[in-house]
A and B are shown apart, each in its own frame.
Chain A
Amino acid sequence: MFDLLQKLGHKTLGRFAALGRSTQMLFGALVNKPNFKKGTPLLIRQLYMVGSQSLLIIMVSGLFIGMVLALQGYTVLVGYGAEDSLGPLVALSLLRELGPVVTALLFAGRAGSALTAEIGLMKATEQLSSLEMMAIDPLKRIIAPRFWAGFISMPILALIFSAVAIIGAHLVGVDWLGVDSGSFWSIMQSQVSFQQDIVNGMIKSFVFAMIVTWIALYKGYDCIPTSEGISKATTETVVHSSLAVLGFDFILTAVMFTS
């Protein structure tokens, strides 16, 4: 019993220490005088690596999720003669929940794991140490542009995801299953609120972007610089950020959508 308590205490202290180190890393990376001349090219490169290169998986996933959502929604709604409400059903599901959450999960798997592996390998091959020895702070040179790239690109990817998914839903619902196109768009327009649905979905996306990118960068920066350590850190990035996204999604939904 005493051993169990001791282990539990040790693990808890370890988690708090890791949280402290990760906060210190993020603080060191973000709190500084901005240098736009040097920072902008680094940010643009990372926006390409983290954002643009995730476009394909986001768009393809969005298309299929929209198509499946329309198919499932139609099957249920047609029983009540309410198939005209397919538009708002799909749009609200995507803008409030599926868009931000699925994008964050895909982003964690595609870009988050890549960030962890890249930084872990930079640590293992002493590139981070060599930056330090060249009097260049790796937090500002390596961590900061990657963090901002993730923070900026994920909400945009979530919007693209939702837009493509709605097109997918239109293809299945209107072009295949015969829902009236005018009803599909007009009821969607009247039921979707910019403030309540789109803005809240964007806020969720920004929160998820911060969480996923922070976890991915910290796991890489703090990993044991061996092949096993990097592999473990990459797996932890995907698992921890997925769980964190789902947990925070519940909290944010409770705050935003319950009156």
Chain B
Amino acid sequence: MAKLVKKVMESDLSQSIVEIKDVTFSRGDRIIYKNMTFNIPKGKITAIMGPSGIGKTTMLRLIGGQLKPDAGDILFEGQSIPNMSRKALYAARTKMSMLFQSGALFTDMTVFDNIAFPLREHTQLSEDLIRLVVLMKLQAVGLRGAQDLMPSELSGGMARRAALARSIALDPELIMYDEPFAGQDPISMGVLVKLIKSLNQVLGLSSLIVTHDVTEVLSIADHVIIIAEQGVIGEGSPEQMQNHESELVQQFLKGLSDGPVPFHYPAPEYSEELLGVRNV
């Protein structure tokens, strides 16, 4: 029995839901990624971290097929996302969902209707069944009592939880979280951390979290990928990352103000500029 459990766990770790293969992506003249390669394991919580402006959200959009890479391939369950037809891409998107930084709830609908929306669009369920599913999802995020509120009546944390309920409405296989903890108070942050962990365990889905919040995400992640300098600079378990030899990884994880990522934006010599001002 123990052997069987071990075998299942090993196979789980080796299976990937998303494979990023030699991806190069640029915006205008600026190269965001150059030959980037990594895998996102199935059934695990994977965290993508890195300094601001490095293109973490862009990676989620590439996986979701909203952007196309200049070169390389992105596989979702073995199928190439950039090479899919529009119909196939939409079919693949019903198996993944994304929690946007702003929540992206539809402002002209109540919380209930927001969560019922994907069910009404993609299933033939009766309204009675939809009501049951929505109430179950709202119960999971603790917002059953807020079902009749409009998004404008929710706090930031509640809006994000309502959006989380919507993103699990169709029981996806992959959830992508874009900065889920940004701008949250400690209580909301704690609730979200707990929810992400429990949803991953209970629903058996794969989670991909893009975030800056090192402490929170390391407490729940199974796998960590740190992106900088147009590629992956560190990858492994949270423990492996804490002891990683790269100075850049350590600067990011410990939040040091100076290091390989300099404190100062590139500028002429300070003394030269000060003297230059006096001469003027």
Please report A residues at the B interface, Cβ cutoff 8 Å: 38, 125-127, 129-130, 132-137
Residues on the A chain within 8 Å of B91, using CB: 135
Write the chain A residue with the least CB distance to B60: A133
Is A126 in contact with B100, judged by CB distance below 8 angstroms?
yes
B interface residues with partner A (beta carbon < 8 Å): 61, 64, 66, 90-91, 93-94, 96-98, 100-102, 104-107, 117-118, 121-122
By the criterion CB–CB under 8 Å, are A133 and B122 in contact?
no
Q: Nearest-CB distance from B238 to chain A (Å)? A: 28
Which 9 A/B pairs are nearest by Cβ-Cβ distance?
A130-B104, A135-B93, A135-B90, A126-B104, A126-B100, A133-B98, A135-B94, A134-B118, A127-B104
- Tell me whether A134 and B93 are in contact in the complex, defined as CB-CB below 8 angstroms, given that A127-B106, A127-B107, A129-B66 are known contacts: yes
CA distance A132 to B98 in the complex (A): 10
Residues of A within 8 A of B66 (CB): 129, 132-133
Report whether B98 and A130 are in contact in the complex, using a CB–CB cutoff of 8 Å: yes
Q: List 22 A-B contacts (CB under 8 A).
A: A38-B121, A125-B102, A125-B107, A126-B100, A126-B104, A127-B105, A127-B107, A129-B100, A130-B104, A132-B64, A133-B64, A133-B66, A133-B93, A133-B96, A134-B93, A134-B121, A134-B122, A135-B91, A135-B93, A135-B122, A136-B118, A136-B121
**Shortest beta-carbon distance from A222 to chain B in Å:** 16
* Residue contact A125 to B104, C-beta cutoff 8 Å: yes
The answer for the CA separation of A132 and B65 in the assembled complex, in Å, is 9
A38 contacts across to B, CB distance below 8 A? 121
> Which of A38, A125, A126, A133 has the largest count of B CB atoms less than 10 A from its CB?
A133
Assembly CA distance A129 to B66 (angstroms) = 8
Instruction: Return chain B residues, CB-CB under 8 Å to A127.
Output: 104-107
Known: A126-B101, A129-B100, A134-B121. 16 other contacts (CB 8 A): A125-B104, A126-B100, A127-B105, A127-B107, A129-B61, A129-B104, A130-B98, A132-B93, A133-B66, A134-B94, A134-B117, A134-B118, A134-B122, A135-B91, A135-B122, A136-B121
- Whole-angstrom distance between the alpha carbons of A136 and B96 in the complex? 13
Assembly CA distance A129 to B67 (angstroms): 11
CA distance A137 to B89 in the complex (A): 11
Q: Which residue of A lies closest to B106 (CB)?
A: A127
Q: Which residue of A lies closest to B100 (CB)?
A: A126
Distance in angstroms from A130 CB to nearest chain B CB is 4
Q: How far is the CA of A126 from the CA of B101 in the complex (A)?
A: 9
| Cα A133 to Cα B178 with chains together (Å) | 13
With a cutoff of 8 Å between Cβ atoms, the chain B residues found around residue A125 in the complex are: 102, 104, 107
Complex formed: what's the CA distance from A137 to B65 in Å?
A: 13
A130–B100 contact, CB under 8 A?
A: yes
Q: Please give, as numbers and ranges, the residues of chain A lying within 8 Å of B105 by CB-CB distance.
A: 127
C-alpha spacing A125/B122, complex, angstroms? 23
Interchain CA distance A126-B118 in the complex, whole Å = 16
When chains A and B are docked, how far (Å) is the Cα of A135 from the Cα of B64?
10
CA distance A136 to B89 in the complex (A): 11
Least CB separation from B93: chain A residue: A135
In the complex, which residues of chain A have a beta carbon less than 8 angstroms from the beta carbon of B117? 134
Q: Specify the chain A residue showing the minimal Cβ separation from B163.
A: A130
